[in-house]
Chain A
Amino acid sequence: MSRAYFRLEGVLVDAGPARFAYWMALRSQHLGDRVTGLATVVAGFAFRPRGPLSDGATARRLTFGALRGTSEDRLAELGMDYGRDVLLEGLRPAGWDLWERARASGLRRVLVAEHPDGALDAIVERLAPDEVVANRFEVVRGRLSGRLIDPVVGGLDGAWLRGHAGGSADGCTVYGSQIDDAPLMSAAEACVAVHPDRGLRSLARDCGWPIVEAGA
């Protein structure tokens, strides 16, 4: 069965994972944790790893390190609020339109999210994807260790895509919006750059990938 992989962040909603980390850090139980959490988010944003660590996975690990020590209860309860108030409210019409077209075409729709699964309930309920691939936190005695469980979404590549699609990326279409999505997109049979960032836009032009702009 043909599959359509939709990147949540950028394609379907505005908010990126840093926003989630910031949003949660601001709502830490202890005031001290808010300060350190916000500082971690800012540091993750400012410090862009270079060389072999310059992939999206490392960036995600840094960003979500801000949530170290957060309880599973807090993640679930506030993640629900975030999903409803931020993700659902920020659903982008062009992305939604592509999503619906994929549904109408009978494609198996896979939602690929850098956000952790605990924040996705509301959007999953709305989109009703066939499958969700999202980041997951390691939990130790009811609290987040600050580490993500592999594979980390943000660093997915062609090998992952082929493995996920059953050995071949034939029949797969990837809808991406960031330069970090390029490894996944270039491995797919077809790809679409939706609301692309500067890097992806440039790459899409060079490769002749279709580009869908906001409001299109």
Chain B
Amino acid sequence: MSVADSLSGKRILLTGATGFVGKVFLAFLLERLPGVQILLAVRTRGRVERPLIRVERMVATSPAFRPLRARHGDHLGPWLASRLDAVASDVEKPLFGWTEDDLAARSGIDLVVHCAGLTDFAPDPLRALAANTLGAHHASQLAQRLGAHLVHVSTAFAVGMADGLVSEQLDVGVSPLGLRFDPIEEVRAAFAACRESDVAQDVDGRVSRITERAKRLGWANVYTYTKGLAEHLIGARGRVTIVRPSIVECARAVPFAGWNEGLNTSGPLAWLISTAFRDLPADPDAPFDVVPVDDVAIGLVLACAAALGPQPPALLHLASGDVRPLTLGRTIELTGLAMRRWARDHGNRWDRLLFAHLDPVAVPAEAPGPFAAARVARFARWASEQLGEGSWREAALTTADQAERVDRMLALYRPFIHDHRWVFRTDTVRALSALEPDPDFRWTVGDIDWRRYWIDVEYPGLRRWCIPLVWGGTIEKDEATSPPLRIAAGAPASAVAK
């Protein structure tokens, strides 16, 4: 049976539709699966805001929905009204804060797809525990109450610091370092650690404390720890499918080539090596497991269809490393080549000079070069102390601040680009894809030409949609439609406006 047949007539409750993966998944459902009804769980500002307002704003201004807007024009509002609805939800509250009446009114949900979560590497642990860990727990509880199957979007790096070939299995209650632990007790202890008096008002202190806890169990940072704990909380329950994408990057085709949103893994790294910073502490032979966001959407659709089948998978990876490996060394070189092309076409004289003559390279973290960020920071800090008040001192301080920022960023990335080598098995998604007759829903990550993808799609996409965020710039948004998009049955928006 095809994916379209499996999901036809089904109702999906989707969380995190305003996020990067959620948007593309939603666009996919809307465009390619006309038989699916969607209920969006969205957070509202107070009780008075209509949940659909946030959806209307998102669909009207996000580039992810350009193809839909172009196709339906004035009729988009009524068309969307026939396909989706929204419900006020807070994933950080039990049952998303729904009342018993809400639950009764929302019966008939077949699937809960939980995409909501924080993706920063070092967020405030209190927020991350609430959103990533409790959010998944609440989604699982809600799915149970609704009699629905839960598809939980996690991350491949929830596997923690266990190197090697990663199978699609979860040993609930066993940490990445092989230590037995009670997930519920661990979550309680983590919350308690965040509320201890010495860090209660100190976010950095909380990050340090929770990172220490995470590392003791085998997770590299707050993000993977909170996502990992979520898996252990819900993994033992029935009717749960955990989907683990690796590093989610620019779209290949949907909504359009190059689209990206927010600051994800490659964005800051690409920014870093597009500055004068040339030496990236990285293991050149380590896999850099990247998967385009629209392939993640396809994988999610396949997972959803399988979740409703007779043998729902418990866990599947959406990754590229086992069939189409890309190494960090190659990624760094491709980024340098892409920058060279960008500088030739768009850069100034300095850009052309720099990128044509100095390529970024991977260097071992143990043997940093003379221009390593930490050394530059120390030197600039020392220089600022020697200099009197004036522009030189200001320049030294600015350099020290920037170099320290880079050093902190590299420390966050180090487990993923230097210390560990993961290869995630993708047997399940490939098996599901092999059974799928519709080419629109096939897993084709194994066919990606990384050179063409990185130079023609990924780097230009990062430059346009991500890198400006690093230096505090703005990202283009689409003009809101006029008259405003209103998701409601009836006449097209223009007729209503008249």
- Which residues of A does B touch, CB under 8 Å? 27-30, 71-74, 76-78, 81, 142
Contacts and interface: CB of A to CB of B under 8 A. Distances in A.
B361 interface: yes
B10 interface: no
Contact of A27 (B334, B356, B455): B356
B321 interface: no
A77 B330 contact: no
A72 B455 CA distance: 14
A98 to B, nearest CB: 33
A74 B361 contact: no
A27 B333 CA distance: 12
B330 A74 contact: no
Contacts of A74: 333, 337
Given A29-B336, A29-B361, A73 B356 contact: no
Given A28-B359, A29-B361, A77-B451, 12 more contacts: A27-B356, A29-B333, A29-B336, A29-B359, A30-B359, A71-B333, A72-B451, A73-B333, A73-B334, A74-B333, A77-B337, A81-B344
Nearest to B450: A73
A80 to B, nearest CB: 9
Interface string B112-153: 000000000000000000000000000000000000000000
A28 B356 CA distance: 10
25 contacts: A27-B356, A28-B359, A29-B333, A29-B336, A29-B359, A29-B361, A30-B361, A71-B330, A71-B333, A72-B451, A73-B330, A73-B333, A73-B334, A73-B451, A74-B333, A74-B337, A76-B451, A77-B337, A77-B340, A77-B341, A77-B451, A77-B455, A78-B337, A81-B344, A142-B330
A5 to B, nearest CB: 32
Contacts of A81: 344
A37 to B, nearest CB: 13
B387 to A, nearest CB: 31
B337 A73 contact: yes
Please indicate which of the listed interface residues A27, A72, A73, A81 has the most CB atoms of chain B within 10 Å of its own CB: A73
Interface in B342-386: 344, 356, 359, 361
What bracket does the count of chain B residues touching chain A fall in? 10 to 19
Contacts of B334: 73
Please indicate which of the listed interface residues A28, A30, A142 has the most CB atoms of chain B within 10 Å of its own CB: A142
A76 B451 CA distance: 9
B131 to A, nearest CB: 39
Interface of B: 330, 333-334, 336-337, 340-341, 344, 356, 359, 361, 451, 455
A73 B332 CA distance: 11
A78 B357 CA distance: 13
Q: Which secondary structure characterizes the binding site on chain B?
A: helix
A29 B344 CA distance: 17
CB-CB nearest 6 A-B residue pairs: A29-B359, A77-B337, A73-B451, A29-B333, A73-B334, A71-B333
A32 B344 CA distance: 24
Nearest to A34: B357
Nearest to A29: B359
A29 B359 CA distance: 5
A30 B329 CA distance: 12
A128 to B, nearest CB: 23
Contacts of B359: 28-30
Contacts of A76: 451
Contacts of A77: 337, 340-341, 451, 455
B441 to A, nearest CB: 31
A53 B461 CA distance: 51
A24 to B, nearest CB: 13
A29 to B, nearest CB: 4
Contacts of B341: 77
Nearest to A30: B361
Contacts of A78: 337
A81 B341 CA distance: 9
Contacts of B337: 73-74, 77-78
A42 B205 CA distance: 59
Nearest to B359: A29
A142 B344 CA distance: 25
A72 B330 CA distance: 10
Contacts of B361: 29-30
Nearest to A76: B451
Contacts of B336: 29
Contacts of A27: 356
Contacts of A142: 330
A28 B340 CA distance: 13
A74 B337 CA distance: 7
A27 B336 CA distance: 11
A29 B334 CA distance: 11
Nearest to B338: A77
A42 B405 CA distance: 44
B399 to A, nearest CB: 23
Nearest to B337: A77
A28 B455 CA distance: 18
A15 to B, nearest CB: 19
B252 to A, nearest CB: 18
Contacts of A71: 330, 333
A66 to B, nearest CB: 17
Contacts of A73: 330, 333-334, 337, 451
A141 to B, nearest CB: 10
A162 B330 CA distance: 42
A81 B359 CA distance: 16
A106 B396 CA distance: 70
A78 to B, nearest CB: 7
Contacts of A28: 359
